[in-house]
């Protein structure tokens, strides 16, 4: 795939436009460099585009009410987290002038001060992720897994250049983006912590163990993880509680959301490095999980994992229209039925269980349990 190859993000664009049917403000949130600005310009063509990283646009908004009140038509404000004081004004303008705004931010609404409260009832939040398997095509799945979905990383001319881009991205994120959110943590310390988290990727999150390993308090560890979660760098997957007369695991799991960033933190530059690394299976699990979670998010479904202390577990569990579904993710040539799957089927009363693996064939393991490649599963949902 050539570097200048454009990937049409039609599903994402439709989702964004549909939200204007019920909201005056649509906020596209997601990590930096995931394509928010590009998709905004392609979805909502307008001359009223303000980039709050552009000094000229910042100067225009020194007197924001005067500037915005006189505009008509579509209005876009990029990197909104740099000026959270705009939110009360946006509320006033949409209420009095019936204007519509597309705002973009590189932090979750929890990290953008007061946005949820100020714009309640007027804003629809949409999380834009890096490229997915559906967008890049299944023929590029190995590249997507190794390099991750950030457009500049995925489309780089070589694995070496992709790795360098990700190294630069991590450095810029720590040295520039984090301080812009008003968070004062030395970049070297947060980089070491983030790197340590990469070795816990796919594991149960033990705050006390992390605190001891890093020489921090539990409270500080939670704070660091909240920052990385709020900037879309990590996923904290919550457990599903159900009373089955067994000791349920009640702590969440931690994942580095972008597989390319994970591989950079683990210093894995090539497919050979990845396939020789102990985190190979965990990397595949996190990569596939992210593909599924983003699709479920579009359907307003919240996924969980499930595990009991006796050993049975399920990588993903969710409820949809009074039915229970589960996913197991296996890095295996031909996964087979396991005791853990049987226990999950029974205890969680699953209507169906899918086993996602890197092969190309789809086959039954038993009634209501099927092994299949990720692309087949995504077509079904």
Does 4 have pLDDT greater than 80? no
CA atoms of 144 and 155, how far apart (whole Å): 9
CA atoms of 1 and 20, how far apart (whole Å): 34
Largest distance between two CA atoms of the chain: 66
pLDDT, one tens digit per residue, over 127-155 is 999 999 999 999 999 999 999 999 999 99
Entry pTM: 0.94
pLDDT (average), residues 159-166: 98
As a whole-number percent, the residues of the chain with pLDDT over 70 amount to: 97
Interstrand relation of 313-320 and 323-329 (parallel, antiparallel or unpaired): antiparallel
Q: Choose between 302 and 181: higher pLDDT.
A: 302
CA 315 to chain centre: 17
Domain 10-127, CATH among 3.30.830.10, 3.40.50.12280, 3.40.640.10, 3.40.50.300 = 3.40.50.300
Please say whether the beta carbons of 322 and 338 come within 8 A: no
Angle at 135 between CA 370 and CA 317, to 5 degrees: 35
Domain boundaries, the chain: 10-127, 133-380
CA atoms of 179 and 217, how far apart (whole Å): 22
CA atoms of 87 and 118, how far apart (whole Å): 6
In whole angstroms, how far apart are CA 50 and each of 97, 103, 165, 269?
19, 9, 26, 37
How long a stretch of residues is the chain? 381
CA atoms of 102 and 38, how far apart (whole Å): 13
pLDDT (average), residues 115-131: 90
pLDDT given at position 109 = 80
Paired residues of 305 in beta bridges = 239
pLDDT, one tens digit per residue, over 175-226 is 999 998 888 999 999 999 999 999 999 999 999 999 999 999 999 999 999 9
CA atoms of 218 and 321, how far apart (whole Å): 38
For residue 321, how many C-alpha atoms fall within 13 Å in the half-sphere facing its CB?
1
């Amino acid at each position: 795939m050539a570097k200048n190859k454009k990937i049409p993000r039609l599903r994402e664009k439709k989702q964004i436009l549909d939200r204007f049917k019920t909201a005056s403000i649509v906020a596209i949130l997601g990590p930096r460099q995931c394509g928010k600005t590009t998709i905004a310009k392609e979805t909502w063509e307008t001359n009223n585009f303000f980039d709050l990283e552009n000094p000229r646009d910042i100067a225009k908004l020194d007197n924001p009410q005067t500037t915005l009140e006189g505009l008509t038509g579509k209005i876009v404000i990029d990197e909104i987290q740099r000026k959270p004081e705009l939110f009360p004004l946006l509320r006033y303008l949409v209420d009095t002038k019936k204007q519509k705004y597309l705002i973009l931010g590189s932090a979750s609404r929890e990290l953008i001060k007061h946005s949820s409260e100020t714009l309640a009832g007027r804003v629809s939040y949409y999380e834009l992720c890096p490229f997915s398997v559906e967008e890049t095509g299944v023929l590029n799945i190995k590249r997507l897994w190794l390099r991750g979905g950030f457009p500049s990383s995925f489309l780089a001319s070589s694995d070496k250049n992709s790795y360098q881009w990700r190294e630069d991205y991590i450095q810029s994120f720590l040295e520039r983006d984090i301080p812009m959110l008003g968070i004062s943590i030395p970049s070297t310390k947060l980089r070491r912590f983030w790197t340590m988290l990469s070795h816990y990727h796919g594991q149960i999150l033990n705050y006390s163990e992390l605190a001891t390993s890093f020489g921090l308090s539990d409270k500080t560890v939670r704070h660091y993880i909240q920052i990385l979660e709020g900037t879309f760098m990590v996923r904290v997957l919550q457990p599903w509680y159900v009373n089955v007369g067994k000791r349920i695991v009640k702590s969440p799991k931690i994942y580095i959301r972008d597989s390319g960033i994970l591989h950079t933190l683990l210093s894995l530059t090539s497919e050979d490095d990845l396939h020789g690394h102990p985190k190979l299976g965990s990397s595949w699990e996190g990569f596939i999980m992210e593909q599924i979670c983003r699709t479920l998010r579009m359907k307003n479904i919240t996924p969980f994992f499930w595990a009991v202390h006796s050993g049975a577990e399920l990588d993903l569990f969710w409820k949809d229209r009074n039915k229970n579904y589960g996913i197991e993710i296996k890095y295996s040539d031909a996964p087979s039925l396991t005791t853990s799957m049987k226990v999950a089927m029974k205890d969680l009363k699953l209507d169906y269980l899918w086993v996602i693996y890197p092969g190309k064939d789809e086959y039954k393991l038993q009634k209501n349990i099927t092994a299949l490649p990720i692309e087949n599963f995504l077509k079904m949902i």
